[in-house]
Structure 1
Amino acid sequence: MNAPAAPPHPDTLLRWLRLPHVRRHAPDVLATAKAQRWDPAEVLPTLFSEEAAGRDRAGLATRRARAGFPTGKTFDAWEPAAFSVPTSTQQALRTLEWVHRRENLVVAGPSGTGKTFLLEALSQQAVEQGLHVAWFTLEALGVLVRAHRADDTVTKALERILRADLIVIDDIGLLPVGPDAAEGLYRLVDAAYEKRSIAVSSNLHPAGFDDIMPKTLATATVDRLLHHAHLCQTSGGSVRLTQVLAGKGVKALA
């Protein structure tokens, strides 16, 4: 009669089961359990809690990396009083209910009034809540359309973007809009209509989009963008310039 095969090493089993965070924390947890004389029933929940927490951290890091955020700004550095949009509106946007309802957000106003900061902070919050975000400038969207036009895969590229729950298009109106960017904006807004949330920041009110792109395309884009949308208009001077004049944000030279 053959002797029973030796069971696999626990580390090998954990690799097979794909439990990397249990593997990482098991030595410390088991040492603590032995020193403090834990009941055996306490060990597994502790290890599984470490695995769940580790997977949450890894998922958050992956969602952030895929989003392509420009700076990493969050509401930790946000000053509600410095933003010209009413505080009640800011609070309503931070609930992210508009994203779950697949509504759009347009933040329009002069440069430096917090438009991009607000969109990135909202997007970071969405990612922290398990949602997927895709971040683009209008110029980057045009580059994407141009790159995929050669092999006729623009539609497939846009379909991949639409896997996100929230799609952000930043800085509309700063630069002239080329034909690829104009087409990309329209096609993305049209494809996301009532299916995904789109948030845009713009130096122009959407009514002025026909100043930077063909009128027919602008009209069709704005019609779909503003239906089921929240429009926030910022005002005032540049927050960045105000901070510079106040001596903030610049370290003195040694």
Structure 2
Amino acid sequence: MRQLKMPYARALAPELIATAKAQRWEPVEVIKALFVEEVTGRGRSMLATRRKAAGFPTGKTFDAWDATASSIPAPTQQALRTLEWVHRRENLVVCGPSGTGKTFFLEALGQAVVETGRRVAWFTLEHLGVLVRAHRTDDTVARILRADLIIIDDIGLLPVAHDAAEGLYRIVDAAYEKRSIALSSNLHPAGFDELMPKTLATATVDRLLHHAHVCQTNGDSIRLTQALTGKGVTALT
């Protein structure tokens, strides 16, 4: 097992073999149990690796998601959670006011994609700009497109530098009909010309929305509501 690089089965083997002897297991039961442990262990390890590579901001999943608190219609939430749109290489745009659950929802979707064995890459628009400035643009885009789902969060909160605007266009253009992009924004994509040069914004939005599901959130900030009701922190004792 050491030579075959089976660390999970090897770690279990002493205890398992002792149990098998005491309970008179059939040899095939021992072999099956060892292989199951190895497969399960490798699955956990690969999942952890994909999660780390994705670069998720907080680690939130649908386990903590309150579907009733979101202004996204419940049928739409359920349809998006099937992840069929990722399989079809379609895009998702979630736009609306700050604090209405956009980032949480996209991160939970990204975590669900990772759990299916696919790769996710998470960025802010500013991070894209930094990558474009630090590396050759073509190399950066090629690395990002290794992911099956590319998530770009919080567009519209800050002014968009030229490098970031170029990076967004190049990612959207290169991923068009090849990869899925999920994007959150305080602005509807129709207003992206307020953030970046009109020509670049038009070309980006044209490709982004061609095969896209658009969800608009509304209402008061969930974070602010929780803070005002004392749910933002654990009470001091």
The bucket for the TM-score relative to the shorter chain is: over 0.9
Does residue 103 of the first structure (1) align with residue 90 of the second (2)?
yes
Q: Secondary structure at the match of 1:175?
A: coil
Q: Secondary structure at the match of 2:2?
A: helix
Report the CA distance between 1:252 and its aligned residue: 2.9
Does residue 50 of the first structure (1) align with residue 33 of the second (2)?
no
AA paired with 1:57?
A: R
Report the CA distance between 1:246 and its aligned residue: 1.1
Give the distance between the partners of 1:24 and 1:161, measured in 2 at CA.
36
Number of aligned positions between the proteins: 237
> Which of residues 109, 127, 138 in structure 2 aligns to 1:155?
138
Q: Secondary structure at the match of 2:182?
A: strand
Report the CA distance between 1:131 and its aligned residue: 0.9
Report the CA distance between 1:35 and its aligned residue: 1.2
Of 203-212 and 243-252, more deviation after overlay is shown by: 243-252
Does residue 232 of the first structure (1) align with residue 224 of the second (2)?
no
Moved over 3 A (4+): none
Q: Superposed, which structure 2 residues align to 1:154-193 within 5 Å?
A: 154-193=137-176
Unpaired segments ≥5 residues, structure 2: none
Does residue 246 of the first structure (1) align with residue 229 of the second (2)?
yes
Does residue 217 of the first structure (1) align with residue 222 of the second (2)?
no
Does residue 142 of the first structure (1) align with residue 142 of the second (2)?
no
Report the CA distance between 1:130 and its aligned residue: 0.7
> Which of residues 5, 9, 16 in structure 1 aligns to 2:3?
16
AA paired with 1:250?
A: V
Report the CA distance between 1:90 and its aligned residue: 0.1
Per-residue CA deviations over 1:65-120 (Å, capped at 9, x if unaligned) read 00000001000111111000100000000000000000000000000000000000
TM-score under structure 2 length normalisation? 0.99
Unpaired segments ≥5 residues, structure 1: 1-13
Report the CA distance between 1:253 and its aligned residue: 3.5
Number of the residue aligned with 2:65: 78
Give the distance between the partners of 1:212 and 1:108, measured in 2 at CA.
15
AA paired with 1:122?
A: L
Does residue 119 of the first structure (1) align with residue 130 of the second (2)?
no
Give the distance between the partners of 1:65 and 1:33, measured in 2 at CA.
37
Does residue 131 of the first structure (1) align with residue 118 of the second (2)?
yes
Number of the residue aligned with 1:62: 49
Give the distance between the partners of 2:123 and 2:15, measured in 1 at CA.
43
Report the CA distance between 1:251 and its aligned residue: 2.2
> Which of residues 7, 11, 14 in structure 2 aligns to 1:27?
14
Give the distance between the partners of 1:128 and 1:246, measured in 2 at CA.
34
Number of the residue aligned with 1:5: none
Give the distance between the partners of 2:56 and 2:198, measured in 1 at CA.
30
Give the distance between the partners of 2:125 and 2:27, measured in 1 at CA.
57
Give the root-mean-square deviation of aligned CA atoms.
0.7
Give the distance between the partners of 2:171 and 2:47, measured in 1 at CA.
25
Number of the residue aligned with 2:23: 36
Give the distance between the partners of 1:141 and 1:224, measured in 2 at CA.
18
